[in-house]
Each structure stands twice: as structure tokens, then as C-alpha cells.
Structure 1
């Protein structure tokens, strides 16, 4: 870097304050984000802090995690929030705080807890404000590109889910044909695949000729078990709950790093979390390699009959399916609820005609391929950002060098 780094302490860099109580009964409808230990957690009608702002998880499993709010917000009592940046760039402060091992300053006993007075004495080396601004500009370019890819994926996902709902939940093509209309946006060949009326069934009115069966007729549970420790030097794609929660990208790990038995993941698999079904986790892996495994907290399903993995994924993602899934649990508290695996395959399900299933797969397969491509690109950029971040903050990497790396990655 072109400027010297100034020595200071965390307490001289930012001033922190504990967040404010806000019970569920006190929370009011509004657009103000509530920032807690794990980041945004709903909205409220009133702000307690001006944006841009930075919060740090103060308690619980998210203790030490750092989050940023561009707008005015309510800092919850589960976090510490910055009340004074002392002239430093707020987003630079957010980046710098992420590089610190704040979780190591646990002052709690039974419950992890972060005390601001314990971390104020941490030594820091901080560049001048103009250097901070340049670093922020560089890293924000990466963040913006990542955000755009994820927003694009959300739009693509919504398109695929809307098509599934239209065909297999609302039966729009059937209703259109009953009225003598051509379904909107559908060609003549696809229209001909749908019946022009309904018939009664145990699940209510269903398209004429479609069957009522078990979900297991469309999605077969795969149960192949693997012990990665038997292949310690093999690099595995590890699909885990933390990897799902962090933008649905598996982690590459050597077999010796994976300490327990896992389930193998075939190329056409769909993963369904059996843990805490009130938090929906449905995963459609893309470009699955030869050595892919997942946590046993996931149930692995593969297509049966004429169904595709895209159809299974969309079916598992519907609100109705999630509602039924929550009825197949054991355990009393939300944190320990697990789905009974056999119950999923035994669910009653409307089974469409095979040609309709095939037509659906043809339409949505390119959508999910694009989602997978974007997800991989976002992960590559996130890895680059996370690699550049500590080196830029510490001054070990000059800005021109970082800019060259960014240009290569985005070319």
C-alpha cells in the first residue's frame, strides 16, 4: 500500500454499545431491519441506529459474527453495534472486524457471550481514510457482482417454481382447455399433453387420467453409506447443513477431514433436510462429482419413473409439501425435530402423465443449469474476496495487485 498503517486498539477504532431489547409483542410492522446476532431478523417500525452501520453477534452460536446494514436499523440486544466510527469508513470497519477472531473472546459460561470491554484492547493496524475508501471500492465491486448473481438466481428459481405451481398445483393448462382457451405461453404440442377436465380423487379434483399414488413412485430414497476415512487422501465434495446455509455450495474436504459416515450423492440427487423441517432446506446439486457425500441430516432422493430431479426439487419446495413434512417429525423442541424418512415416500401424491413430466423437465433443466453456473461463479468471487480481504486489511497486498486479480476474475 502507498500509505503507512497506524497502530491503535479496537476501542480507538470503533465505539460499541449493546443492542436494545425488542420482544415479539413490541415489534411493529415496518421497513426498518432488526439486526441481531445472526444478522437481519425481521423488521420493525422504528430505528435505533443510523445507517450505514455494523453489528457484532454478542451471544449464542453467532457470537463474533459481523453484519452490515446500509440503512437505519434496530440493533437487537443479542448484538453489539457501532455507535462511533471515529472517522473511519463504516464498510471498511465491517471488513476489518470480519478478519478478527472475535469468537475467541468468549466471556460466558453456559452461553457464549462477547463483552465489548474484553475486545477494546485488541491491537490493530489501520490505513488512512483514503486508503480505506479505495479498499472498500475494490471489495464492494466483488460484493455487488456476487449480489447480482444471487438476485439473478432468485429470479430464475421463482420462474421455475411458478411453472411447477401452474402445471402441478393450480392445473392452469387443464382449466384453460376446459374453457376452450390455449394456455398462455404454451405451444400446441405441450397443450395436447394435458387433459381437458378433472375427476374426483381422495386428494380432491385432479386432472382426468392422472393417478393418485405415493411420492415414492416418483422419488426413490437413496441410502448408500460411505466412510470417507477409508479414503483419507481422496478429495470429497461434502454437502452439509452449514454449506447449504452458506449459499448452497459443497465444501471440498479430504477423507481424513470428514470424521463420520456420510451418504453418497448420485449425480441426479435431490437433498432434503430431515432436521428441523420448520426451516426448509431442499438442495438440488449441480455437476456432482464422483466423490460426493452429504451429511446424514439429509435424506437423498433420486428420480423414479418419468420424474426428473428438477420436478422432485420443485415438489419438495412447495409450501404444501413443507406443511406435510412438518407433520412427519419426532422430537418435542424445534431444535431437535427430525423427519421420519419412511413417511416422505409414503405421502399421497398426484402423479402426472409421463409425457407431461418429460415436457416440464425440458423447460426447467436449462434454468437450473444456469442457477448452478451462477452459484459456482458467485462462490469463486466470494473465495477471491475472502482471500483478498485479510491481505488488503493487513497491508500485505497492494491495491494495484488486488485490482489486477479482480480484473482477471471478472474477465
Structure 2
């Protein structure tokens, strides 16, 4: 169970600093206000892990940052965590509205002193880390899914532009049509050349335009049914809309001018926030402030969606600075586009279909994870759910949290591991602390931060996690690839070292930012510090894998039990190593297997 404490006993808030627009200078330090990051400046007022919340509006809108920043005077920011784990405090304060014993959490304009007086549930630091780790894992997976979807959306749009704007769709020989001399003819309606056999027309050539309606809002029997009801308020930043704020009944559907639009229908907002385009992820009804477009027979919604986006871009461009405050049906009818033969559209749909289906499945996964997180947040904070009891959750949700972030085929894993090692050597070859120990520890941490199994083969070794096979063969592999030669523990670049970056991007692109961040953080770390950090990470991860309690004193105990060599290090060095992991958010999540002692080792 949790105890209750005043927020002022957990952290100390301070009002931010004024920074009028006229005094701002472009820089790299984010300005955090009540609305989050609202700009950048060339000076900072705070650094390290920070929490910022607005001084106006409902409390619980928290922004976490790790680095140098300028807290704006429209916000309060934490200047002292009083020994508490910052990420835990972040989640605790995010759940203020559901946890606080005071009604002041919902009062706009609450001041710092009022905030400090609010009482919230509180647990000791040793319990804070696992709670924050669970919630952070969910947030990290949601963010990763968002990045994956953004990349897939960009790929689909790029392919559309390549085929239907630049006209470099595959010709009969599989080569880009226009770039390889495909015949182009002038089209008077479009005022440009288009490929031979293409035509000019409007979007109604490939989709049917339909309208919506709203049931009588004064009739309760029409509302709160099982049919999602799309309005401009349901617009999503991503392609698909999975759920809606309102729903209607079958009776409501029958008693208004809307209809049930099938999955794959394209919705375009025509009033209010105009020109937003979404795809229905399930059957939905729609109000009269939107238009719906359904693909013609033999055409899938993948092409139609991008075609609609193209038309909306043209409409916005025609507005030419004037207010773009409405779309009418004639806008669709009078906007001309190039219409390709159906076989080209089908070929395009066959390629992009997998993009769209992956985006949809990932979007649904995020919806489930967000629901799980939002349910867990107050329950973990007030002690109704413990970290250990989370194992009772649905297995599919736990698997989603822990699953690998990228896929590397089994027959490519050994080479991918070599590439990762090559990238590490490229970055650290001139580091005076870059010994075999530091090399192996960076490799181990990189594989875990990337959450990728590269023929996982780590065992206890006196100096920390160790892959014996890898470390005894990697130098020869580097030499065989003409990347590096190793003499007297120093790597010398060879002729084909330049290949490494290309392979690195190819294999690890989804997690490059995470890996690059890790490498930057380890740049100034000594080999001894790397050993301490990697070993602490390993014993921490082992406890998660084995479903054992995680607390600082237990991690330190496991560290000293690792090998006799570990007795050389002081508790102060271990505390510094743990602080490094916490501060830089390099937190284990149970990836990989239990690490054991090698056979024959005690």
C-alpha cells in the first residue's frame, strides 16, 4: 500500500522565467511552457532531468525533459526531486486528477504553494524504479509505433509522387517510365504532359462522393449505441481513425441522412477544421460536416486515399493565402487530376497495401497499449496494482511491450553483429579508454538498447557481460572485410571501412537514434565505468527476466556477487553507475535471456 505525502515533500516546484518573443534568439535549447516545447533559445536556465507543468489549466499536463532547457514563466518546473526517481514523479504527477485528495487539482491558475500542499500516494524509491520502468516501456513502445507509422506513411506518399506526379511508375521492362523515355503527351485540361494512355478527370473517376448527417440530438434512443460516429472532432494526425468520441444506435442511423460507411472509406472534413483526411478503420457513420469517398470497384482505398490528399493539397494551394474555410462538392468535381490505367493503380495498391495494413495494425496496438497505460497509471500509483501483479495482464499486451523493435533474419545476425561492432570501433577507435573491456560492454549495451537478438551469447565474465565467441573472432572478421586491422590492441582503418555506415543504416535504421544516443553518452566513459554500468545493467535485467524484485540494494548485492573482481569497486562507484543509468534513461526491460555463468565457471 502507498502512504500519502504532500507534493512539496516529494519535489520542489519553481516558477519559470519570462522570455518575450523579441528577446528570443535561435538556439538549441527548448523553451518549455504550459503547452510543452514552444520554441528554442540560445540560453538555458535548467538542466538534467526536469518536469514542467502549466500554471493555468487542469493539472496533470506534465512534460518530461532530460537536458538543458528554458522553463517559461507560464509554467512551473521542478528544481529538486528530493532523492526521488524523476520518471516516477513524472507519472505520479500525470495522474494528479485521479489521485489527489484535494479538489484544487482541477482549478485553473493554481499557484506553487497550493500545488505543494496537494496530497498524493507515495512509495519508497526502491519501488519507484520498477513502476516507472513498466510505464516507460509502454510509452516507449507507443512512441516507436508512431515513428514506424510515420515512416510507412512517408514511404507510401513518396511512391505515389514518384508514380503519379513524376510519372516514373514501372514500364513494361520494370524501369521508371518517364526517366527512361516513356512517351508523354500534352494534356490541355491539366496544362502539362502526361503519359500516353493516361487521361485527365476528377477524383469521381476513381471514387464515389457521399455525404453524411446527424441524428436528432434530443432523442436519447439515437445515441450511445455501437456505431462509431465520425465528426471533425475525431480527426487523427495519423492515417486511420480507429474510434470516435460519439456513437449512435441502429435506430439513429435509420432516422437521419447518414449511412454506415465501410472500413476503408476516406473521410474529408469540409467545415470547421477543413481539409483533414482520415480513413475509417472500421464501419462508421459520419456527420454532415464531412465528405466520404469510397473506392470504385477494382480499386482499393490505398490509391484513393493518396489521391484525395493530392486533391486537398491542390485546393489549399488554390486558396493562395485566403481563408480556406470550407470544401463543397464542386471542389472535387472541378479539380482535375491525371487518371492512370486501372492496371497501374492495381500494381500500386499491391505494393502499398502492406504499408497501410501495417499502419492500421500498429495503430490498433497503440490504442490497446494506451488504454492499458491509462488504466495502470493511477492503479500503480495508489497501490491497487503492483508491478509483480502485472504478469496477470493479457499475454499479448506484455509481448507487445517486450517485443523486438526491428527484425533481422537468422542468416544475417552474425554479419549484423559485426556491423554493429564496426560502427562502435569507427566511433571509439581514438578513445584512449577504448580497451577490449569497453568495446565488449558497449556492444552488450547496444544490443540491449536496440532490443535485437544478434545470436545472443552473453555469460558472466570477471569484467562483466561477455560473448567469448564474438570477442575472439571479431578482429579477424574486420580484417577479412577490409574494415580494420588490429595490432597491439589498436584498430587501424582499412580500405573498405566506409562500407560500415551503409550497412549500419540498413540493419539498424529503426533504432539508429537510440543507438547513436547511447554511443554519445558513452563517449566520455572510462573502461572501468563502462564495466560497472554494463554489469549493473546486466544484473538489473536478470532480475526482470527472472521476475525478481528490483531495488538498488539488491542490484548492488548482485554486482558484488558477480565475481571477486567486483570487490575492487566501492559502493560510491556503483551509486554513480546507477545514477548514470537513471539519468540517461538506459533502463532494462527484461530483453534477452537470463545471463548465466559460463560452463566450468563458479
TM range (shorter): 0.7 to 0.9
Alpha-carbon distance change, 295 to 19 in structure 1, aligned in 2, over 3 angstroms: farther
Q: Give the match for residue 236 of structure 1.
A: 227
Counterpart for residue 242 of structure 2:
249
In structure 1, what is the equivalent of residue 339 of structure 2? Answer: 351
Instruction: Pick the structure with more helix per residue.
Output: 2
Residues 360-379 of structure 1 aligned to structure 2 (within 5 Å) = 360-379=348-367
CA distances 1:333-363 after superposition (whole Å, capped 9, x unpaired):
xxxx632323531322222222222221221
Which protein is bigger by CA-based radius of gyration? 2
In the other structure, the counterpart of 2:14 is 17
With 32-41 and 152-161 compared, the bigger mean Cα shift is at 32-41
Please give the root-mean-square deviation of Cα atoms over the aligned residues, in Å.
Answer: 3.7
1:340 corresponding residue in structure 2: 327
Tell whether 2:184 aligns with 1:197: yes
Q: 1:243: how far off?
A: 4.3
Match of 1:391, SS?
helix
Between the aligned partners of 1:392 and 1:307, the Cα distance in structure 2 is: 48
Paired position in structure 2 for 1:267: 263
Q: How do 1:109-258 residues align onto structure 2 when only pairs under 5 Å count? A: 113-173=109-169, 182-183=174-175, 196-208=183-195, 209-227=197-215, 229-232=220-223, 234-241=225-232, 243-245=234-236, 248-251=241-244, 255=248
Where structure 1 has 5 or more consecutive residues not aligned to the other structure, the ranges are none
1:88–1:273 distance in 2 versus 1, CA, 3 Å: farther
> Alignment partner for residue 55 of structure 1, among 42, 48, 52?
52
TM-score by length of 1: 0.78
Question: What is aligned with 2:304?
Answer: 312
**Contact 2:156/2:352 (8 A) holds in 1:** yes
Given that 1:92 and 1:136 are in contact with CA atoms closer than 8 Å, whether structure 2 keeps it comes out as yes
Distance in structure 2 (CA, Å) of the matches to 1:304 and 1:54: 51
Pairs aligned (count):
382
Q: Which moved more, 1:213-222 or 1:246-255?
A: 246-255
Q: Compared with structure 1, are the counterparts of its residues 404 and 153 closer, same or farther at alpha carbon in structure 2 (3 Å cutoff)?
A: same
Bigger CA drift: 142-151 or 165-174? 165-174
Higher relative contact order (CA 8 A, sep 6+): 1
In the TM superposition, 1:29-48 aligns within 5 A as 29-48=26-45
TM-score (norm 2): 0.56
Rounded Cα–Cα distance in structure 1 between residues aligned with 2:389 and 2:360: 30
Structure 2, gaps ≥5 residues long? 400-602
Conservation of the 8 A alpha-carbon contact between 2:96 and 2:120:
no
Higher strand proportion: 1
